[in-house]
Amino acid sequence: MRHVITALVMNEPGVLAHVAGMFSARGFNIDSLVVGRTDDPNFSRMTIVVIADDRTLDQVRKQLGKIVTVVRVRDYKESPFVARDLMLVKLSAPPKVRSEVIELAGLFRGRVVDVGQNTIMVELSGEEDKLDAFVELVRPYGIRELARTGVIAMARGAEAVRSAGSEDQRPAAGASPLARREPLARRQPSQAELEATPPG
């Protein structure tokens, strides 16, 4: 199963190396790892997607918590959460197909952020599936270059991993693979929740 874990870490050198080193030393499987600032300059926030069964997930959480510079750890196995991935993709788009591509991007609520003579760059964010679907759709046009941040996530509702607003995420290690991936493990929402929560 793919699980999303959030870790609030002290903002100092070596922390990323420590976390990444721990994953490799213990043979845990990272699918993606994103680090970014938070509203509090003392802390950064990592979102890690791991491939693990329940036992391993438990160890991953505990081993993360054991690192002195890791302040809080949370996984989203038991609670509803929002997960987002951000992508920049540069497509071959000579003038005759340009408008088609722009239209496709629009359907996915993507933004065209750069237009060259024969290329177009689209920015797209959302759930991983949506990005994957877009990638498949535009593949025939020719993908020149593609970059994804990997997932960031946050629990729904009032509960927070210490500092809430994280703007301005910078991608770090581990771009996620383009191959089809299994969906992120999620608690199944109840009908009531489905009705109450706005569509992601």
Partner 1 sequence: MSTLTPPAGRTGCAPAAKTPANSSLASNRTDTVSVAPARRREDGAAGALPVLGHPTGRSSRFIGRNGAQILLQMLLEHGVTDAFGYPGGAILPTFDQLYEKQLNFILVRHEQGAGHMADGYARATGKPGIVIVTSGPGATNTVTALATAYMDSIPIIVFSGQVRTYAIGNDAFQEADVTGITRPVTKRNYLVKNLKDLPRIINEAFVIATTGRPGPVLVDLPVDVTTAKMEDPVDDTPNLPGYRIYKGGHSRMVKAAADLINASERPVLYVGGGAILSGAWQEVRALAEKGNIPTTTTLLGLGTFDENSPLSLHMLGMHGSAYANYAVQDSDCLIAVGARFDDRVTGNLKLFAPKAKVVHLDIDPSSISKSVKVDVPVVGDAKLCLRDMLLHIESRPRQAWLERIRQWKARFPFTWKDDSPLPKPQAIIEAINRITGGRAVFTTGVGQHQMWAAQFIRWNRPRSMITSGGLGTMGYGLPAAIGAQVGRPGELVIDIDGDGSCLMTVMELATMHQYQLPVKVAVLNNRFQGMVRQWQKLFYGGRFSHTEMVNPDFAALAESFGVRGLRCENKADVPRVVEEMVKHPGPCLVDFICETDENVYPMVASGKALDDMVMGVVGETPPNSGRDMGTLA
- Which parts of this chain interact with partner 1 (CB under 8 A)? 9-10, 13-14, 17-18, 21-22, 25, 55, 58-59, 62-63, 65-72
In angstroms, give the least distance from the CB of 49 to partner 1.
21
In angstroms, give the least distance from the CB of 162 to partner 1.
9
Nearer to partner 1, 109 or 162 (CB): 162
Nearer to partner 1, 54 or 114 (CB): 54
In angstroms, give the least distance from the CB of 51 to partner 1.
19
Q: Are 86 and 148 in contact (CB under 8 A)?
A: yes
* 42 backbone dihedrals φ, ψ, rounded to 5°: -75, -15
Q: Are 189 and 80 in contact (CB under 8 A)?
A: yes
In angstroms, give the least distance from the CB of 65 to partner 1.
7
Q: What is the CA radius of gyration of the chain?
A: 18
What distance in Å separates the CA atoms of residue 64 and residue 47, rounded to the nearest whole number? 12
Nearest C-alpha neighbor of 28 from the set 56, 4, 69, 65: 56
Nearer to partner 1, 9 or 120 (CB): 9
What distance in Å separates the CA atoms of residue 44 and residue 26, rounded to the nearest whole number? 23
In angstroms, give the least distance from the CB of 30 to partner 1.
16
Nearer to partner 1, 50 or 71 (CB): 71
DSSP 140-196: GG-EEEEEE---EEEESSS--SSS----SEE--S-PPPSS--PPBP-PPPPHHHHHH
In angstroms, give the least distance from the CB of 200 to partner 1.
31
87 token code pair: 């992508």
Nearer to partner 1, 17 or 194 (CB): 17
Nearer to partner 1, 18 or 181 (CB): 18
Q: How far is CA 38 from the centre of its chain?
A: 16
